[in-house]
Structure 1
Amino acid sequence: MTILFVSIIAPVISGCVVAIFTFWLNNRNK
């Protein structure tokens, strides 16, 4: 159960981190 939870949540969290990071970089470059 924990492995299933991690396998579903981990990609979601990493995807959010990448999205926020790219959003921050775009605002910072302006």
Structure 2
Amino acid sequence: MLDFLVHNMTLVINGCIIALFAHWLRNRNDK
């Protein structure tokens, strides 16, 4: 159960980082 929670948290954190990075790249390219 703990491994499942850790795995899900890792996926969520990675998804947030990728989304923020993509958003930052889009904003930088618009300028």
Match of 1:29 in 2: 29
Q: Deviations over 1:1-30 (max 9, x none)?
A: 442221110000000000000000000001
User: 2:29 is matched by which residue type in structure 1?
Assistant: N
Runs of 4+ aligned structure 1 residues displaced above 6 Å come to: none
Q: May I ask how many residue pairs the two structures share in their alignment? A: 30
- Aligned-CA RMSD value: 1.0
